[in-house]
Amino acid sequence: MNQSCMARVLAVTLLTVAAPGPGAAPPVEAQSSQPESWTVPRTLDGQPDLQGVWANNTATPLERPEILGDKAELTDEELARVQARYAELFASGESDAAFADSVFVAALGDQDSFSSRDAATGNYNQFWLVDRDFDNRTSLVIDPPNGRLPPFTPEAQRQREARIAHLADNPASSWTDRRLQERCITFGMPNLFAGYNTYYQIIQTPGHVVFLHEMIHDARIIPLDGPPHVDDAIRQWHGDARGRWEGDTLVVETTNFSPRSESPAALYQRTRGSAQQLRLVERFTRVGPDTLQHEFTVEDPGTYAGNWTAMIPLSRKDEALFEYACHEGNIGMEGILAGHRAEEREAEAAAAGAR
């Protein structure tokens, strides 16, 4: 569907008011107001208590769909319509799985069903994904005001084009041609995936905060008010994090990312920039008994032409966090490489027969 046709469809869709259908979760506020009787709980040493299990199940996309222009929020009526469409498409659990931003985009449209972006090789179905949380916002990005990421720098764009050209000829010549996520190394900092293994457990001690990520079982151990960052020559997949308290907000500043780490971007953008120059500043604030606000600013002059900021509301969950054994079950990588070796043999045999 072309852009102008999509514009007409979405204009009609958003103007059509409908109540949420079965399976549609009620809307949640992006920034929960504190109940009058609620105060920020504290640990024994007086820190704001952020401990527990929190989930990012938001349906709000990272970037605002271009078709929505400057519309930062849906009206309540438009939101109800989007939730109703979400229920129609996904409540049965039988459709293809809609990961990340595809949920919101699908609910905006008027298609009768949802098909995977990778229909050729198959996918999970929606049964395996959690219900998503909707609010009125049309993007997680709050700055720039257009709700979209800044453009790549010229050098980052050149590297991106070179990477695209390489992958066109070498989709799996080596495991290094595949994404870090597929290789069970990391989903990146911050993890922008939503709705699939996106639970986090926070543990606090007087001198440290630990963030345990469900996806790939990443763990970030963050010292509080401790020594300065390590030497610039020391680079790590998740960088070098240092935390401090500013009032009731935990501020975490992370630098020293490996040049092989990926700068934050949309999940399915296979050619992200390097995080070598990334400075990530995160702010965690409890804004209610069941909501932890995660705001972060990306400063990466090696990738983006400007800084950008996003906010993700995390919801409290009374559930245990189980280990995500990624490497142990990653037979998919073996299959990807073996499949491409088979294709190469077939191509060689066909070429030999044509001589």
Counted residue by residue, the chain has a size of 355
Going from N- to C-terminal start, the domains of the chain cover 1-30+74-136, 146-324
Residue 29 pLDDT > 80: no
Q: Residues 6 or more apart from 289 whose CB is under 8 A from it? A: 35, 38, 316
Q: Read off the pLDDT of residues 107-155 as tens digits, 9 standing for 90 and up.
A: 998 878 887 766 566 677 888 888 999 999 999 999 999 999 999 999 9
2 band by pLDDT with thresholds 50, 70 and 90: very low
Phi, psi for 87 (deg, rounded to 5):
-65, -40
Cβ atoms of 249 and 283 within 8 Å: the answer is yes
* Angstrom distance (rounded) from CA 335 to CA 318: 37
Looking at every residue in the chain, the average pLDDT score rounds to: 86
Q: What's the pLDDT score for residue 22? A: 38
Residues 266-286, mean pLDDT to the nearest whole number: 83
Q: Residues 6 or more apart from 104 whose CB is under 8 A from it? A: 59, 60, 61, 65, 82
Q: What is the pTM of this model?
A: 0.85
Q: What's the pLDDT score for residue 36? A: 73
Burial level of 10, CB count in 10 A (0-12/13-18/19+)? Answer: middle
Q: What's the pLDDT score for residue 28? A: 46
Cβ atoms of 230 and 258 within 8 Å: the answer is no
State which amino acid sits at residue 195.
Answer: G
Q: What's the pLDDT score for residue 21? A: 41
Q: Read off the pLDDT of residues 61-115 as tens digits, 9 standing for 90 and up.
A: 999 999 999 999 999 999 999 999 999 998 888 888 888 788 899 999 887 888 7
* Angstrom distance (rounded) from CA 171 to CA 218: 26
What is the three-class DSSP state of 46? coil
Q: Read off the pLDDT of residues 197-225 as tens digits, 9 standing for 90 and up.
A: 899 999 999 999 999 999 888 899 999 98
Cβ atoms of 287 and 293 within 8 Å: the answer is yes
**Residue among 219, 224, 223 nearest 246 (CA):** 224
Instruction: Report in angstroms the alpha-carbon separations of 68 from 7, 9, 132, 349.
Output: 8, 12, 21, 51
* Angstrom distance (rounded) from CA 342 to CA 337: 9
Residue 4 pLDDT > 60: no
Residues 317-337, mean pLDDT to the nearest whole number: 86
Residue 326 pLDDT > 90: no
Query: What's CA 250's distance to the chain center, in Å?
Result: 21
Q: Read off the pLDDT of residues 230-245 as tens digits, 9 standing for 90 and up.
A: 999 999 999 999 999 9
Residues 12-22, mean pLDDT to the nearest whole number: 40
Q: What's the pLDDT score for residue 186? A: 87
**Residue among 135, 139, 142, 140 nearest 82 (CA):** 135
